[in-house]
Each structure stands twice: as C-alpha cells, then as structure tokens.
Structure 1
Amino acid sequence: MEILASRVLFRPKDYQRSLRFYRDELMLAIAREYGGGTVFYAGQSLIELSGHGGTDHASGPFPGALWLQVRDVYAVQDEFRGRGLEIARDARQEPWGLHEMHVTDPDGVTLIFVQVPDDHPLRRDTRG
C-alpha cells in the first residue's frame, strides 16, 4: 500500500475554541478552509480541525483520527481483508465526496483511509 498524504484529524468538542487556539494562539498558517473545518500547516504534516466534533466522534484515548490518503481505498480494503485485518467501517463515499474506510489501531485510534475522487475540490488548483 502506498500512502499519498496524511494529516492528523481532530474532532474538538468546541470547534470555535480550538480554531482560535490553532489559528490565533499558535498562529499556524491555514492550508485550507472548507464548510466543515480548517486545515493548518504543521511542518511536514497537516492538522485538520473538523467541525463534526464532540465525544460521539472521538475514539479511544485520542479525540480524533489519523487521515491517510491512498489511491484506491477499495483495493486497500480488499488487501487488508485478505490479510485478516479487521475493518472497523467499510469503505463508502461520504456526503462530502471522499471515499473513506476506518481501521482501529490496538490503542483505539481510528485510522481513516481516504480516496480522493478525480472531481473532488481537493484535486483542484486553487491558485489564481
């Protein structure tokens, strides 16, 4: 399996409070904003604050997930199943257009494997 990109995904209980912390207190540069959240540059990685937060989305001791972009999430799912790895949530297209599958690590952290379709806004060049 080839990982194309990754980011840490936080689902804060209070999105606005966390947004102010990362943006105004830590002064992290914004990589991208979208209707449901904000992505910040964090060195060679990204930190995403999701507006879909709260304890109902937090997994284990870590209130978020690790976001891992792959070329074909359905092929990765088949590969994992072939090796006997348990899939926490089958791959499917989300309302926001990404195809996502969840796996849980031994400590309860959710790993979200993501496929970005060719027509998704993440694939568009936003430079003027």
Structure 2
Amino acid sequence: MNRSHWICSALEGVGCSGMSESLRVEFFPADLERSIAFYEALGFEVRGRSSDPVPYAAVRLGGVRIGLAQRPAVDPALRAVPIGTEVVIEVADVVACRDGVVAAGIELAGDLVEREWGLTDFRVTDPDGYYLRFTSRR
C-alpha cells in the first residue's frame, strides 16, 4: 500500500475516501493589496475575498491555490532560505513563464538554472519575503 493510500484509508471516517488530493498554501502578508497586485502580475487570478475576521483573498493559477490573510508585518529575513519555506510551482514552459514575470516588472531572486536532476527553474520573492520557485522539466 503506498503512503497516499494509507493516509486516505486512515481518514475514511472523516471524508477523505475517494477524494482527489490537492494543496493550498496560506501566506500572511502585512499588506493584502500589495500582495494581490504581486500575484496578479505573476498571472494569478483573485478567486475570492473577505474582510471578516481578517482581510483575506484567495488567488489561483491553474491548480495552484494560495490564500492571503493579512497579518502584522514579520521580518522577511525570517522566511529566507534555508530558514523559511520555498514554494515550488510547476509550469509547462519555465522559459516563457520567466519571460512573462520579467516583462511584468518583477525582480528575479534567481534567474534560470538547469539542475542536474532534469529541472530548470527560476526564483522570485514576494513582497513579504515568501520564496517562490517556478520549474519545469527540460
């Protein structure tokens, strides 16, 4: 039994059985509007907004979903690699994606690199220091 199947089997009583797994990441920006503008420039669409109990927006790019819940500012250095988290977004054409990001005026934290394990990627940092890596197979 593979691990994914084991997890769903263990959760059958709580609604996991037969469900397709997905992932949504939640970030906590100090300035929600600034973060929305950044993710829209990356090609994400705002899929929902609310203000209660805190200002919140849901953004989506294909199957990638990110929740943005406004909170007080945190020093972005506390999120820097290797201390923080790197979010990896797989795309069909990383070169075209990188070109679009640059055309949108977003500064790259790391330009295109071909990795020995067969992936090519580039990196950006969002306004609150969250580290995003866009990648695809060669």
- Choose between structure 1 and 2 for higher RCO, CA contacts under 8 A separated by at least 6 residues: 1
* TM-score class normalised by the smaller sequence: 0.3 to 0.5
The structure richer in helix per residue is 2
- TM-score using structure 2 length: 0.42
Larger radius of gyration: 2
- TM-score using structure 1 length: 0.45
